[in-house]
Amino acid sequence: MSEVELSCMACVKMFLHASVYPRCSVNGLLLAPAGGGGGVCEEGVCVTDCVPLLHSHLPLAMIAQLALTQVDVWCSQTQQRIVGYYQANATLSDSSPTACAFKMADKILEQSSNAVLLMIDGKKMTPGYRVPPIVMYEHKDTRWTLKDKRTIMLRQWEETRAITAQILNSRDHMLLVDFDSHLDDITKDWTNQKLNAKITELICPANGNM
């Protein structure tokens, strides 16, 4: 059973995406470096970033496929690859994967045998949460099953929690652009370079890495 390591950058952006659209279901893609085994490190899969996708068109296959295609092209240009999928449901008490989540995860599995499916637990998305608000699944024996929590690594959890709170307090979370927003206004950058720079600025004083 391989380990999955989630970076501070990836987690902060996922949590911000869910926070920007608290009454909507949101989803996105998990990324890893394309080199050095295609995102597979000694311990397992190393998720270094994410791309926020949708907040209003999750079940629409055409929009999802368009987003997947564009992100895949961008990843090939930036030496990254898609290794997983995340989703937060509109109903806070529900952190179970939907049919859409399974379908998207299956699509990613076709290209990445170590693909993971991550659900954000809305009940734990509060300012004082101490436990990572995530539920992760792996594909095993032809179906998606809960992943052993001992194999999910968040080495910078306290920094991640603090940086997320700081960005929300400063309202810099409004820098976040998902693919939905880009479709409404194509001048908006769904690769989130401005937000990435802000998160990096806050990460570096904390521990010097992402």
For the record, the structure tokens of 19 come out as 């926070």
Say how far apart CA 118 and CA 112 lie, in whole Å: 15
**pLDDT tens, residue by residue, 22-46:** 999 999 999 999 975 444 555 589 9
CATH superfamily of 4-203: Cytidine Deaminase, domain 2 (3.40.140.10)
Provide, rounded to the nearest whole percent, the portion of the chain with pLDDT above 90. Answer: 72
State how far Cα 197 lies from the chain centre.
Answer: 17
Give the pair of three-digit tokens for residue 104: 């998207």
Domain ranges within the chain, ordered by starting residue: 4-203
Contact yes or no for 104/82 (Cβ under 8 A): no
At 155 the pLDDT is: 81
Separation CA 119–CA 182 (nearest Å): 23
pLDDT at 41: 57
